[in-house]
Structure 1
Amino acid sequence: MSYPNDLLSTRAVVKPGLYAVIPAAGLVNNVVPGIEGCKISIVASPKLGAGFVQYVVRAGQGGKTTAAWAKEDRIEAFLYCAEGGCRVSVQGETRTLNAGGYVYAPPGCGLEFAECLEGTVLLLYKQAHIPLKNFAPRIHWGNSNDIPYRIYDDMENVFIKDLLPLELGFDMNMHILSFAPGGCHPFVETHVQEHGAYVLEGEGVYLLDERWMTIKKDDFIWFGPYVPQAAYGVGRGPFTYIYSKDCNRDVPL
């Protein structure tokens, strides 16, 4: 940290209960018991209006958990390695995850990580699982680099990957959406699902509610149910982000 080079300014826009755009430049560090050697930014929580909690974790050499994270009975968790690498354990199974690697931990399992490389960036996500009779989720490991893109909604300049199984046992998914320059959503979406999105590469412009905003790598975006949203990819390369989605459940009354 040092003195600013110019007048203080930000691209952050936060509308609690509706949406938020949080650039990396504005993130602050939080102390989270059970995690050491890391800079942790809590980018989404119920205080914002989100139905989940998400961290952006920037690990130093050897960053680790000292206790299982998100091990509460009803809590399911997801870890995605955006950059670098580390060792991750879920219920006694340990794997090395490099950039693109991820794991889903069912309710009550929690997850641990250790031996982080310097410069590792992890996304940690947790939410309360909604059980469904006769269906249950399971531990799921993967690497997004091993999953081929498929064309999104018949548009050959927009591509998507599903990171978790499309099964009723899972009440959430994580997707990677990528726009070639000039690619866009086929229409302005308005839906019950909320999203938390972390930009992996490129630049775009994003419509949230009634406002178009410039977005770039390392930005975090959240928007709540029924907020109109759409994006265009701009710049010279792909505009790509990983985002969460609640799914496979009816709405309780």
Structure 2
Amino acid sequence: MDKYYYPEGGLPPQTHLTTERAIVTEAYTVIPKGVLTDIVTSNLPGFTKTRSWIIARPISGFATTFSQLIVEIAPGGGAPKAEFEAGVEGVVFVVKGTVNLTLNGELHELGEGGYAYLAAGDEWGLANVSDEIVSFHWIRKAYERLPGYEAKSFVTSDAEVAPREMPDVNGVWKTTRFADPDDLAHDMHVNIVTFQPGGVIPFPETHVMEHGLYVLSGKAMYLLNNDWVEVEAGDFMWLRAFCPQACYAGGPGEFRYLLYKDVNRQVKLTGQPLSG
């Protein structure tokens, strides 16, 4: 069994039932793994032998801070330069295969669970030099600079970062934090949240941060606004600010998801630049 779920595409047969678990509301969206088929992929500028599923993008009146893609690169494919938009930071998290990351002229090999934070303005590209496909999540955000702080690129992995236990939960709820949560240079966090079977978020979290939650493994009942939704590995949940959320991990194995949230910035009210 694969440690991290990844979509393989394809197309259901004509006999397949059209009903699915996909839902779009004013407070949240659920994109289940069954709808990530070949016909909804997009090509990416600058990439060869590559396709992507764009599962989140800024939408007026909903979530506006980030985009999230699942990218698949075939052997021999990639992009010498991946990010073309000035001022955009990113995170790459590998769920299948191995990819070579060139970051500011330095080569890094990212295997399954590999994680790279890519600071706005840095030059980076990706190449699949293996004989198998590579699949990864690419989360992008316009970096909000704060006087006196500047986020720096770094490379690590799921295996290298010890999860931190949430307080008073007896180990059933842990978070793998790749960036220091107290470092104000970072205006977004992309973490991994892990629940043991039976673990819960014991209250409806209701907060200003937007979320993208991609289920890497396991299954759970997840509270989204007023609805309890059953989710499993490969499903994506997308939450606007202040959407209440909670969960109950169903087992039999761990429930793990890749979590995006915007953090560490004051709410802008005037549109004017920040003063030092």
Match of 1:78 in 2: 91
Q: Is the CA contact 1:140–1:164 (under 8 Å) kept in the aligned structure 2?
A: no
Match of 1:194 in 2: 210
- The answer on 1:97 being equivalent to 2:110 is yes
- The answer on 1:141 being equivalent to 2:141 is no
Match of 2:21 in 1: 11
Q: Is the CA contact 1:54–1:125 (under 8 Å) kept in the aligned structure 2?
A: yes
Q: Which runs of 5+ in 1 are unaligned?
A: none
Letter aligned with residue 114 of structure 1: A
Seq. identity, %: 31
Match of 1:33 in 2: 45
Q: Secondary structure at the match of 1:155?
A: coil
Q: Is the CA contact 1:53–1:127 (under 8 Å) kept in the aligned structure 2?
A: yes
Match of 1:241 in 2: 257
Query: 1: distance between equivalents of 2:134 and 2:19?
Result: 27
Q: Secondary structure at the match of 1:25?
A: helix
Shift of 1:60: 2.1
Shift of 1:2: 5.3
- Deviations 1:202-221 (CA, angstroms, capped at 9, x unpaired): 01111111111111111111
Q: CA RMSD of the aligned region, Å?
A: 1.6
Match of 1:174 in 2: 190
Match of 1:62 in 2: 76
Runs (4+) off by over 4 Å: none
Q: Is the CA contact 1:158–1:178 (under 8 Å) kept in the aligned structure 2?
A: yes
Query: 1: distance between equivalents of 2:174 and 2:111?
Result: 22
Q: Is the CA contact 1:40–1:55 (under 8 Å) kept in the aligned structure 2?
A: yes
Q: Which runs of 5+ in 2 are unaligned?
A: 1-10, 270-276
| Structure 2 CA distance for partners of 1:197 and 1:2, relative to 1, 3 Å | closer
| Structure 2 CA distance for partners of 1:50 and 1:232, relative to 1, 3 Å | farther
Query: 1: distance between equivalents of 2:74 and 2:164?
Result: 35
- Deviations 1:209-235 (CA, angstroms, capped at 9, x unpaired): 111111111111110100000111112
| Structure 2 CA distance for partners of 1:5 and 1:244, relative to 1, 3 Å | same
Q: Secondary structure at the match of 1:30?
A: coil
Match of 2:167 in 1: 153
Q: Is the CA contact 2:216–2:257 (under 8 Å) kept in the aligned structure 1?
A: yes
Name the TM-score, length of structure 2 as normaliser: 0.86
Shift of 1:110: 4.6
- Deviations 1:31-74 (CA, angstroms, capped at 9, x unpaired): 22112222300000013633211101123223312x42224221
Query: 2: distance between equivalents of 1:215 and 1:180?
Result: 15
Q: Is the CA contact 1:18–1:227 (under 8 Å) kept in the aligned structure 2?
A: yes
How many residue pairs get matched? Answer: 251
- Deviations 1:78-108 (CA, angstroms, capped at 9, x unpaired): 1111121110122112100001111111112
Query: 2: distance between equivalents of 1:23 and 1:36?
Result: 27
Match of 1:124 in 2: 138
Between structures 1 and 2, the one with greater strand share:
1
Shift of 1:144: 1.1
Query: 2: distance between equivalents of 1:60 and 1:197?
Result: 25
Query: 1: distance between equivalents of 2:49 and 2:67?
Result: 20
